[in-house]
Structure 1
């Protein structure tokens, strides 16, 4: 047999399992065989992976496509991802009428994206909850997100008047009736924030640490308890998205029990690499806030021992001009999808000796398992041939100008990270090589929508 592609003589990273030297053969977009190091086969294309890892392509579970330049984000952000070993993304889709708006947004992604993509539905009203079982069956979206930061006055200021604990519980009850259903929640008690914020602003503070002080980590932890407890009573698995505080993780460890619905935890690379003391000013404003070095270290231990299942970027492609005029007026959030692998390899593997197979599971196998992504997340015959080839000892210097993103800055700008993606491959197609996007893929995007209903 002549294969379409062979990744030759690399260190194959089996997520959550181990590393073994060998080659991978690809046929018609899927992994056809795992070959011994000395096994020779015929292929139309061969990529020499000597002294490099062959990793499953990352699936970023937490992105916000459309918050930068609307539908154009599918073009710019998917290509940015493809340059750095990310072969799939999950993004939040929020609309007053999800049934009416979702087909058009899906079509925009299919027309523009060079990587695969799926949706989480954002819940801001009871009508969203009531419609969810039918929406899940129709669009293959089995995950919801509830924004507890939009309760009360904070939500009303953005036009959301129905976000309360009743909406949270009803969303959990609805998702419990959907096969594979899971509810992700932004945990942050915004009702207490004014108690801290008002005197901080009155004191004239606008340093990055003020954003943490006005919404301290225990306000996240308090919401984590409510979500996990409600999830148990509703019989629904929950996902604590973008966890930022180690106290929250400690609570989850205590609340987990084998006979209760799962409490999943996601963190993001900025909570593993940046702190409230990072010298990035207003660029570092994000919700929840950047925390202390102790939080960073504690979350990494959660990655090491598996208490944290998934890691994303919370990528938002806004311009630098939106990050001002001061901390209080700046938009929250920043880009990061291109730094997933460099941060994990540099900060996790090299700096903290976390096994690469453990890190790989957080962006592939565990994401696919949580969100029911068939054929994704593993390196095994029959699975989609999605790969990131990484030179673990090369250096990545973060320069926003290297990427086509709508965003023109990075909170990681100037960082020298040990580890560099050399190739990105989606279903056997070479998307990028050594920082250059494939011309054929760029001209004819072939990203597919990830339909997830059972």
Structure 2
């Protein structure tokens, strides 16, 4: 199978230039001069379009299997494809979570049967319960090992438990203390893996919540209960462990100015630390609760305009190297509950790309920055760039074709998620993914999947340790 992509402007982290592309048997076979004649089975006209290396979302919670009342992997990957992504990395907090190599392979088979885009898998750290299994998960090809810092786990199902002070050891696995986190980091480092964590230090959160005798009623209360210092404390501790052990450490969903500063300091000290921004923190601030409503509740919370400005600065200077959705959907009835009672998390996998492209349209990001943030740096961070994220002969022929001026309005009823709701419903902008190619085959056109689901697992390469 030979696909010839013609007439487009190829965008990489190095810049943009007219180029044609030849894809053969799922791989990039050649970069061609515009108009160069070649034999092909199919041609895709990209005239007037920007051709990016396929976009990657490294942070998706489909919660499948076991929590499919909220979302399914089939739905989340269909949404990813419709929005312009070609690869996602699935977080491990399904039931059961990916906690050993056998579960990794089982999950890969299950997801491969329904996936609309290619996918990587995260493994989950349980503290002492699976320390000896972490190396096997890394060796199997996990993109990273995730710790839900400060959260307990139901002992039977391994599902996250948010309130556990009075729970017995027979009911829950207590979250590891700081020394336990260090032990996890050391094991991941020894295996050549990447460690990541939901960074909010539980003791700090408990102290902050204690200052609210009336509980969380307003959005200002939520910010008080989950202060930036909780994020900074966890990032700093894990960052120092990274510096000590040489372990790669990735900070997910950075939300605060102080966190950006802490990450920059650790990077300057030589830590192998990378970090991601999320679209909702880049687009919304606490002031938007008046128009969006309490359904914008996420952890860490969406903070102030000053925090948002620091995130944009962090993207500009390279402190933050990826942009993700943190797609973490819930059923509408759950998100309709009062602020204190509703779960944290939003739909985002289908809206990530248009929100980033609108920032490009408005001049907030240059096209080559988008190529780095949504493709190249993400692939390199998670060590899948031997296949994904780069326009290089031999790599998978994954491309996202973008009309940089096409207007769009998000209509939640048209989303492909299990529960088509979005806090971005009604938002408008410019810049849309109009087609996607996955391993040399047209997979999406004008926001709708083309053909049957064809997603497959991509395995990360462990870092070689001296």
Q: How does 1:34-183 map to 2 (within 5 A)?
A: 34-66=31-63, 69=68, 73-94=72-93, 95=96, 98-137=100-139, 139-141=140-142, 143-150=144-151, 154=162, 156=164, 159-179=172-192, 181-183=193-195
Shift of 1:78: 0.7
Task: State TM-score, norm by structure 1.
Answer: 0.91
Q: Structure 1 residues 142 and 178, CA, compared in 2 at 3 Å: closer, same or farther? A: farther
Aligned position for 1:291: 303
Q: Structure 1 residues 165 and 313, CA, compared in 2 at 3 Å: closer, same or farther? A: same
Aligned position for 1:210: 221
Cα distance in 1 for residues equivalent to 2:109 and 2:326: 23
Point out where structure 2 has 5 or more consecutive residues left out of the alignment: 154-160
Secondary structure (helix, strand or coil) at the match of 1:93 reads: coil
Per-residue CA deviations over 1:119-160 (Å, capped at 9, x if unaligned) read: 1112122132221112322x2225111222327995636833
Task: State TM-score, norm by structure 2.
Answer: 0.89
Structure 2 residue 409 is matched with structure 1 residue 397: yes
Does the 8 Å contact 2:149/2:198 carry over to 1? yes
Cα distance in 2 for residues equivalent to 1:117 and 1:19: 27
Structure 2 residue 4 is matched with structure 1 residue 6: yes
Among residues 267, 271, 285, which one is paired with 1:256 in the alignment? Answer: 267
Cα distance in 1 for residues equivalent to 2:440 and 2:352: 21
Shift of 1:54: 0.5
Does the 8 Å contact 1:207/1:281 carry over to 2? no
Point out where structure 1 has 5 or more consecutive residues left out of the alignment: none
Structure 2 residue 251 is matched with structure 1 residue 240: yes
Equivalent pairs, count:
442
Shift of 1:371: 1.4
Does the 8 Å contact 2:151/2:175 carry over to 1? no
Aligned position for 2:460: 452
Structure 2 residue 425 is matched with structure 1 residue 427: no
Shift of 1:228: 0.7
Aligned position for 2:293: 281
Among residues 175, 180, 184, which one is paired with 2:196 in the alignment? Answer: 184
User: Which region of structure 1 is more displaced relative to structure 2, 170-179 or 155-164?
Assistant: 155-164
Aligned CA-pair RMSD: 2.2
Q: Structure 1 residues 380 and 143, CA, compared in 2 at 3 Å: closer, same or farther? A: same
Shift of 1:177: 0.9
Secondary structure (helix, strand or coil) at the match of 2:268 reads: coil
Does the 8 Å contact 1:30/1:428 carry over to 2? yes
Cα distance in 1 for residues equivalent to 2:448 and 2:204: 47
Per-residue CA deviations over 1:21-65 (Å, capped at 9, x if unaligned) read: 121111111111112223233322222212211011111111112
Among residues 322, 325, 329, which one is paired with 1:310 in the alignment? Answer: 322
Per-residue CA deviations over 1:161-198 (Å, capped at 9, x if unaligned) read: 1422122101110011113x110111112222244334
Does the 8 Å contact 1:320/1:409 carry over to 2? yes
